[in-house]
Amino acid sequence: MSKKKTQIVVVGGGAGGLELARKLGARYGRKQHDIILVDRNRTHIWKPLLHEVAAGSLDANLDEVGYGGHAARWGYRFFYGSLESIDREAGTITTAPLVDPDGEEVLGRHTIRYDYLVLAIGGVSNDFGIPGVREHAMFLEQRSQADTFRHKLLNACFRANLESMDGTPGAKVQICIVGGGATGVELSAELFNAAKGLRNYGLEVFDENTLAVTLLEAGPRILPALDEELAQTARSELEALGVEVRTSTQVVEVTPKVVRTKDGGKVDADLILWAAGVRGAHGVAAMSDLELNRLGQFIVRPTLQSVSDDRIFCIGDCASCTLPGSERPIPPRAQAAHQMAETVFRNLGRIMAGRAPQDFVYRDHGSLVSMSRFATVGSLMGNLVGGRMAIEGRLARMAYRSLYRMHILAIHGWFKGTALIVIGHVNQIVRPRLKLH
Ligand X SMILES: Cc1cc2nc3c(=O)[nH]c(=O)nc-3n(C[C@H](O)[C@H](O)[C@H](O)COP(=O)(O)OP(=O)(O)OC[C@H]3O[C@@H](n4cnc5c(N)ncnc54)[C@H](O)[C@@H]3O)c2cc1C
When the beta carbons of 29 and 122 are compared against ligand X, the nearer one is 122
Q: What's the min distance (Å) between Cβ of 45 and ligand X?
A: 8
Give the C-alpha separation, 335 to 346, whole Å: 17
Q: Is 183 in the site for ligand X (CB under 6 A)?
A: yes
Give the C-alpha separation, 113 to 369, whole Å: 41
Q: Which amino acid is at 253?
A: E
Of 22-30, 38-46, 170-178, 196-204, which part binds ligand X (CB under 6 A)?
Answer: 38-46
Q: Is 182 in the site for ligand X (CB under 6 A)?
A: yes
When the beta carbons of 182 and 212 are compared against ligand X, the nearer one is 182
Across the chain, how many H-helices and E-strands are there?
10, 27
Q: Is 51 in the site for ligand X (CB under 6 A)?
A: yes
Q: What is the DSSP letter of 219?
A: S
Give the C-alpha separation, 399 to 421, whole Å: 15
Selected binder of ligand X within 24, 60, 121, 175 (CB under 6 A): 121
Helix (H, G, I), strand (E, B) or coil at 432: coil
Number of residues that bind ligand X (CB under 6 A): 34
Maximum distance among all alpha carbons in the chain? 81
The string over 193-224, giving b where at least 16 C-beta atoms fall within 10 Å of a residue's C-beta and e elsewhere, is: bbbbbbeebebeebebebbbbbbbbbeebbbe
Q: What's the min distance (Å) between Cβ of 209 and ligand X?
A: 25
Q: How many CB atoms lie within 10 A of CB 288?
A: 21
Q: What's the min distance (Å) between Cβ of 172 and ligand X?
A: 24
Q: Which residues in 205-244 contact ligand X (CB under 6 A)?
A: none
Give the C-alpha separation, 391 to 369, whole Å: 10
Residue 59, Cβ density class (10 Å: 0-12 exposed, 13-18 middle, ≥19 buried): middle
Q: Is 40 in the site for ligand X (CB under 6 A)?
A: yes
Residues linked to residue 313 through DSSP beta bridges, in sequence order? 118, 305
Q: What's the min distance (Å) between Cβ of 31 and ligand X?
A: 26
Q: Which amino acid is at 100?
A: D
Q: Which helix (H) or strand (E) element contains residue 72?
A: helix 67-74
Q: Is 16 in the site for ligand X (CB under 6 A)?
A: yes
Q: Is 254 in the site for ligand X (CB under 6 A)?
A: no
Selected binder of ligand X within 10, 15, 259, 330 (CB under 6 A): 15
Give the C-alpha separation, 39 to 361, whole Å: 27
Selected binder of ligand X within 22, 23, 33, 47 (CB under 6 A): 47
When the beta carbons of 212 and 275 are compared against ligand X, the nearer one is 275
Alpha-carbon 140 to chain mean position: 7
Q: What's the min distance (Å) between Cβ of 39 and ligand X?
A: 4
Selected binder of ligand X within 249, 303, 335, 376 (CB under 6 A): 335
Q: What's the min distance (Å) between Cβ of 313 and ligand X?
A: 12
Q: Is 60 in the site for ligand X (CB under 6 A)?
A: no
User: Closest residue (Cβ) to ligand X?
Assistant: 14
Q: Which amino acid is at 413?
A: G
Alpha helices in 214-323 (DSSP H): 228-241
Alpha-carbon 47 to chain mean position: 3
Q: What's the min distance (Å) between Cβ of 51 and ligand X?
A: 4
Selected binder of ligand X within 223, 337, 410, 411 (CB under 6 A): 337
Q: Is 410 in the site for ligand X (CB under 6 A)?
A: no
Of 10-18, 208-216, 235-243, 295-303, which part binds ligand X (CB under 6 A)?
Answer: 10-18
Q: Is 12 in the site for ligand X (CB under 6 A)?
A: yes
Selected binder of ligand X within 25, 48, 56, 197 (CB under 6 A): 48
Q: What's the min distance (Å) between Cβ of 275 and ligand X?
A: 7
User: What dihedral angle (degrees, nearest 10) is formed by the CA atoms of 307, 309, 313, 314?
Assistant: -50
Interface residues with ligand X (CB under 6 A)?
Answer: 11-17, 38-41, 44, 47-48, 50-51, 82-83, 120-122, 140, 142, 182-183, 281, 316-318, 332-335, 337
